[in-house]
Amino acid sequence: MKKIFLIFFTLKALFGAVHIVKVEPFEIYHIKAATSGQVVNSDISKESKVVNNYEIIKLDSNVEEENLKDLILKLKNTKEILKSNKELLKNLKKLTDVKKDNYFRIKDLKTKSKFEKDAKLTDYLQTYNQYLSQKEKIKSLLNQISDLKYNIARLKDTLSKKSIKVSGYVYKIYVKRGDFVNLGSPLVDIADISKAKIVLYLDKDEMKNIEKKSIYIDGKKSNLKFYKLYKIADSVHITAYRAEIVLKSPKLFSKLIKVEVK
């Protein structure tokens, strides 16, 4: 590493805007555990291989799977209960309307005694109260269904996090079968090698009229353009400006190349 920096500074001093940079994958994704659990499968054999939507790591999910089955069954049963209770509510509504009509039909008749009128009113109000109680029961069932759906969705989300499927170049796997991981534990690094990227840090002189300058790779003028060009100085290289250039994917990454901007 010290030799690389010495070469860099020597070239910089002799020739000006010369950068020795490393060709890197376009992006490296650091995948961490989104939930805790024991590793039941970790396919170490896929390190250094390119995979597509492949389950590289699996966390134990037996408890969650059983809970999910139980919740799905409860949801089905609760929906059936709701259906029966809605039918009962319709019948209570009809019965309430009938008893209401019966009461209002006699309440002003002088030929009916107060006892008869009170009996009809009591009968109507009791049925009406049953109707209101049934409405509340249906609301409660609807709330139960809503809670069950939420818990099912949450469990499905947890289960999806127990299966780590990836696409790209498997750069490094951090866990093996039998390990226990916590939330946030590193699992696997995946590199996007469909293209390459180089990063260089330009000084103020190089930034002047940058849009009119060309990029030279190993002494040869290229048609490359800056993928990203920051106009605010870098937080680490405080006197330089970060620039990124995208290249075609090479056969081998991490080789050093010479970049000039002029």
Convert the pLDDT of each residue in 96-153 to its tens digit.
999 999 999 999 998 889 999 999 999 999 999 999 999 999 999 999 999 999 999 9
Q: What is the pLDDT of residue 4?
A: 42
Q: Is 210 helix (H, G, I), strand (E, B) or coil?
A: helix
Region 1-30+191-262: CATH code? 2.40.30
The pLDDT-based confidence of 8 (bands split at 50, 70, 90) is very low
What number of residues does the chain have? 262
How high does pLDDT run on average in the chain?
92
Q: What is the DSSP letter of 250?
A: P
Both tokens assigned to 109:
């008749």
Answer yes or no: are the C-beta atoms of 147 and 2 closer than 8 Å. Answer: no
Both tokens assigned to 141:
């069932």
